[in-house]
Amino acid sequence: MQLLFSAYIKANPPQRTEVYELKIVKGRSLPFKQVADHQVEALVDAASSKGCYHKINDAPIYGGMKTRFTNPKPFDCQFICRAKAYLVIWFYKPRQKKRFYLIDIFEWNRCKAIWGEYRKSATEEMIASMAKEVKD
C-alpha cells in the first residue's frame, strides 16, 4: 500500500501540506480500534494550530555495514500545523483496481462517535460515504 500510495502522491502532488495515516483492510470492515488513539491525536494536532512535532529516527548502522538499506532522511525533524490530515484506507481486493479513500480526520472522529455507539467497525460503504476523495 505504501508503495502504491507513494507513487500516486509523487504523480499527483498536493498543493499544500498534507499528512496521512495509511490503513489496509483485508476483510469486510475496518475495526475502529485499528486506528490508534495516538495516530488520531497526531493527525488532529497536525491539522490544528497546536501543531505536531516529529523527530525522524536515524537508521541504525551495524558494524561492518558499508551501505544503508534505507532511503536517506530529508531532514532530522519537522513541525507541522494547519495541514490537511487524512486517514487513507484501502480495502484490499486481489486482482481488482486499487481504490484509496481519503477521509478527513475530523470527519472520521465525527462518524466514529456516531457509529461507535452501535458498531465496532466501519464497512467499505460507510468509509466511502465519509470519504472526501477517492483515488483510483
What's the CATH number where 94 sits? Answer: 3.40.1350
Phi and psi angles of residue 17, each rounded to the nearest 5 degrees, phi first = -65, 130
Per-residue pLDDT tens digits for 7-52:
889 998 999 999 999 999 999 999 999 999 999 999 999 999 999 9
pLDDT mean over 100-119: 94
pLDDT higher than threshold 70 for residue 64: no
Sign of CA dihedral 42, 79, 23, 44: positive
Query: Which has more confidence, 71 or 55?
Result: 55
37, 44 contact by CB (below 8 A): no
pLDDT-derived band of residue 99, with 50, 70 and 90 as boundaries? Answer: confident
Split into its structural domains, the chain has a count of 1
- Considering the chain, what is the average pLDDT of its residues? 89
pLDDT value for 69: 59
**pLDDT for residue 67 is more than 90:** no
* pLDDT > 90 fraction of the chain, expressed in percent and rounded: 66
Structural domain range at position 97: 2-135
Residue with grid cell 460503504, as numbered in its chain: 125
